[in-house]
Structure 1
Amino acid sequence: MAMPWRATMLGPAPPMGYAARPIRTRRTTLGMHASIGLLARRRFLPLFVTQFLGAFNDNLFKTAMVLFVTYEVYSDPRVEAWFNAIATGLFILPFFLLSALSGQLADTRDKARIVRLVKTAEIGIMAVGATGLLLSSVAQGWSIGLMLLAVLAMGVHSTFFGPIKYAILPQHLKEDEVLGGTGLVEAGTYIAILAGTILAGFMSRNEGAVAVTVLGVAALGWLSGRQVPPAPPLGDTPPLDFHIVRSSIRLVSATMHIPRLFLAICAISFFWAIGSILVVIFPPLVKNVFTADETVASLFLGIFSVGVAIGSVLINRLLGAHVSARYAPAAVIAMGMAVLFMFHVANGWQGQPEGHLYSLAEFTHHPGAIEVFAALFGVAVCGGMFVVPLYAFLTTTVAKDQTARTVAANNIVNSGAMVLGSLAIMGLTAMGVTVVQSLLLVAAMCLVSAWIAWKLHCACD
């Protein structure tokens, strides 16, 4: 089982001039109605439900944990940001270490069988997390340790499920359904994140209810995962390379030498670096700048999630089933402008006196609340419009038997970028930079993403 992958696992480099031609799927006149129709098909619905429940459960648990620590354990914005960065780093670490192995498995084994194994593991992971939640009132140290262990295990779970979620679509869907299916998966994922984060805000002080819920949802995910149709490997099945460093290097180098994939992965990576920074700073921003309680912090994350979902659907309508990076530069520039608007609003915010926090009802009646929500919604919608076509591009550019490995290579680079984003926030807060000032870093990173996306558009469209 030690035979390593060849450097040419993604096939030979495309012939001269290939990258200049658009990567197109057959246009459809059915538009969004055809995409929604996929929800009635067994070749799509069980996978959609499984990933929806998984995203919901991940974010219910993670958000409940972060809100508990932010509002009940720590009272220092710097320490809160550090804890959020550590939790984010633990979740990302498995993507960096194990994505190469997960990509090999997804391309060389039946994807549906891997889904069932991963969903079985989720029940055990949530049992550990639920135990941590239940111990929060009697053994805080042990509680936080178990919850962080569960977050790390959730990262492993997502590492192995992630390539399946995208690689199985070209195998089960028709060519002109891939973009619509990808948009539905992304929209469903972020709607699930919305539901999980908002519910966490209302349940975060009831650890028992959160524990029962995450275990119940894991069981439902296991049931839906068993309904995913078989998706056997399509090409050769080389032996697995369990040397995670060697296989990761080979996986990334075999993908990144193709210019169009290199640019797509870099653009996606910058997006997720931006996302990791925003997720780290949102809870302390809401608590210490907007002086609002955990229900508002949960709503903040929820609005961000539903905005990305709406952006995912909008870009599918604009592109008309044509996989293209045409709108990506403009989308991410607009995202940067929305971040700058949020910085402006936060910088002039008049909050509550120390020791007092706005409730959800009080915050929504604040004169500046509409501006906050508009800025946040703008960031999210533009982000969804930016990233979804790039994921569809990854899965339609390479052969169907290599899509999981391509997504896995993308995950490795993405995770590295997200770790750098988390480290940047930790470094900036250690230097005394406030969470509000950190928004300026996010806006600057949007410019870099726009430049990369423009290069990709010029190369492929």
Structure 2
Amino acid sequence: MINALGLLKQRRFLPLFTTQFLGAFNDNLFKTSMVLFATYTVFNDAGQEANFNALATGLGILPFFLLSALAGQLADSHDKARIIRLVKTAEIGIMAIGSAGLIAAKLGHVTAGLALMLGAVLLLGIHSTFFGPIKYAILPQHLRPCDVLGGTGLVEAGTYLAILLGTVTAGFLVRLPVGWTIGAVIGFAVIGLFAGRQVPPAPREGPLLHLNYNPFTASWRLIAATLHIPRLFLAICAISFFWTIASVLIIVFPPLVKNVLTADEQVASAAIAVFSVGVALGSVIINTMLKGNISARYSPMSVIAMGGFVVLFSILSRNWTPAAAGQLYGWTGFLAQPGAVPILLTLLAIAVTGGMFVVPLYAFLTTTVERDQTARTVAANNVVNAGAMTLGSVAVLGITALGATPENMLLLVAGMCLVSAWIAQRLHRACD
């Protein structure tokens, strides 16, 4: 992995890495600002907060389900660098819409503001749908085979470090006038466009495809053409279970911090930042352990460990001493509690093991098919992932309606980790 850092000096990788980094940063900056505003300003009920977060998550996922097939076709039949420039141009307009929502909400037009912000989340989902296949599929085209795993790990690590910075920045800006947030999200969108224009050309390597614009038949054909291959079926299933787990965690985490740990938005931002650092560390660790070889060898044990840490996190949450009635811990008050450090370390461990699980699987997707099929393979994975995450979001809504608490939802996550481990073990046996 240390050798992979040398890729950051090369134009065949650095502009793509920078574009992805800025996109993840800006996306997370906006979404975190919106979630913190809704959780701490608009709603005052754990169920409503979970429902809003589930709605926002579902809107962000929906485009992956409907448009990933078209995105994969476009990426495999056109210059990927040109698509990047178009997508990054659109990001500027999307952030303008989200900014209008923030302004409206701050001025007291809460319903209209939330509607505009949720609309921006939907558009950001479309933005990510068309960029997602490219960021992985372009790597085998620009990098040597021995560098693909390292490049994938750097993209994943950079993404989660960007999430870290976006989260921390959102937690800081939320206490300032809204103009600071607006200037940040639009400004970073502009910088991202400049970085995207530096990505070297990546023209199609196969025949020009006849595009299918019907989202349902295109998705079905794409999945059918991919999932009949056993190794890809197992890899995609394992990744999908991981993202289902992630969707549940994303939904329950802000209400858990507010209502169980009784902490404010700065603590919520810091805890998400710890999680982001953990995934980045996991990406580095697994690349070092595998020494550049693409293998699912360590994936089963990684996700089993993740499940164990999730159970521990649930136990620690149940034994937490809440703040006085009507009060929330600030960052200093939170750290002063005896259980704060164990909770943060456990959260870090969940993220590290999660990163160790999923990074080799993404590298596996892009290196076991022909180069002119890589984007469609990633797109098929995105469609299945989106369906799985949607089911996870719906499950959270249903289980929450039955009265399940956030700490109990964590036990569902732990059970899903065992299923992921079983699938990853089958993949390892089939391919290694």
Aligned residue in 1 for 2:124: 154
Deviation at 1:347, TM superposition (A): 0.8
CA distance in 2, matches of 1:245, 1:45: 36
The one-letter amino acid paired with 2:20 is: Q
The question of 1:437 aligning with 2:408 is answered yes
The farther-off stretch of 362-371 and 89-98 is: 362-371
CA distance in 1, matches of 2:208, 2:136: 19
Match of 2:151 among 181, 185, 194: 181
CA distance in 2, matches of 1:97, 1:458: 33
Aligned residue in 1 for 2:301: 330
Question: Percent identity, aligned pairs only?
Answer: 63
Q: Deviations 1:155-201 (Å, cap 9, x if unpaired)? A: 00000000000000000000100000000000000000000011111
CA distance in 1, matches of 2:300, 2:3: 27
CA distance in 2, matches of 1:238, 1:83: 40
Match of 1:99 among 58, 62, 68: 68
The question of 1:108 aligning with 2:77 is answered yes
CA distance in 2, matches of 1:404, 1:165: 9
CA distance in 1, matches of 2:243, 2:336: 32
The one-letter amino acid paired with 1:204 is: V
User: 1:417-428 counterparts in 2 under 5 A?
Assistant: 417-428=388-399
CA distance in 2, matches of 1:228, 1:137: 38
The one-letter amino acid paired with 1:43 is: R
Aligned residue in 2 for 1:390: 361
Match of 2:340 among 366, 369, 373: 369
The one-letter amino acid paired with 2:115 is: G
Aligned residue in 2 for 1:381: 352
CA distance in 2, matches of 1:428, 1:312: 32
Q: Deviations 1:195-225 (Å, cap 9, x if unpaired)? A: 0011111112332211110000000000000
CA distance in 1, matches of 2:197, 2:415: 44
Aligned residue in 2 for 1:24: none
Aligned residue in 2 for 1:17: none
Deviation at 1:148, TM superposition (A): 0.2
The one-letter amino acid paired with 1:111 is: K
Deviation at 1:354, TM superposition (A): 2.1
TM-score by length of 1: 0.93
The one-letter amino acid paired with 1:74 is: F
The one-letter amino acid paired with 2:167 is: T
Aligned residue in 2 for 1:204: 174
Deviation at 1:34, TM superposition (A): 2.0
The one-letter amino acid paired with 2:3 is: A
CA distance in 2, matches of 1:154, 1:354: 38
CA distance in 2, matches of 1:274, 1:40: 35
Aligned residue in 2 for 1:290: 261
Aligned residue in 2 for 1:356: 327
The farther-off stretch of 134-143 and 48-57 is: 134-143
Match of 2:243 among 268, 272, 275: 272
Deviation at 1:91, TM superposition (A): 0.2
Q: Deviations 1:201-253 (Å, cap 9, x if unpaired)? A: 11123322111100000000000000000000001112211111111000001
Give the SS at the match of 2:12.
coil
Aligned residue in 2 for 1:260: 231
CA distance in 1, matches of 2:144, 2:88: 26
Q: Deviations 1:379-402 (Å, cap 9, x if unpaired)? A: 000000000000000000001111
Deviation at 1:293, TM superposition (A): 0.2
CA distance in 2, matches of 1:313, 1:398: 25
Deviation at 1:361, TM superposition (A): 1.3
**Total equivalences in the alignment:** 430
The question of 1:86 aligning with 2:65 is answered no
CA distance in 2, matches of 1:67, 1:417: 25
RMSD: 0.6
Deviation at 1:364, TM superposition (A): 1.4
CA contact (8 A) 1:285 1:436 kept: yes
Q: Deviations 1:392-413 (Å, cap 9, x if unpaired)? A: 0000000111100000000000
CA contact (8 A) 1:68 1:205 kept: no
Deviation at 1:33, TM superposition (A): 2.9
Higher share in helix: 2
Aligned residue in 1 for 2:426: 455
Q: Deviations 1:89-121 (Å, cap 9, x if unpaired)? A: 000000000000000000000000000000000
CA distance in 2, matches of 1:428, 1:198: 30
CA distance in 2, matches of 1:280, 1:424: 11
Deviation at 1:337, TM superposition (A): 0.4
Aligned residue in 1 for 2:205: 234
Q: Deviations 1:295-351 (Å, cap 9, x if unpaired)? A: 000111111111001000100000001100000000000000000000110011111
Give the SS at the match of 1:135.
helix
Aligned residue in 2 for 1:169: 139
CA contact (8 A) 1:95 1:159 kept: yes
Structure 2 gap ranges (5+) = none
CA contact (8 A) 1:331 1:383 kept: yes
Give the SS at the match of 2:2.
helix
TM-score by length of 2: 0.99
CA contact (8 A) 1:332 1:449 kept: yes
Give the SS at the match of 2:106.
coil
CA contact (8 A) 1:277 1:421 kept: yes
CA contact (8 A) 1:133 1:208 kept: no
CA distance in 2, matches of 1:244, 1:431: 34
Aligned residue in 2 for 1:246: 217
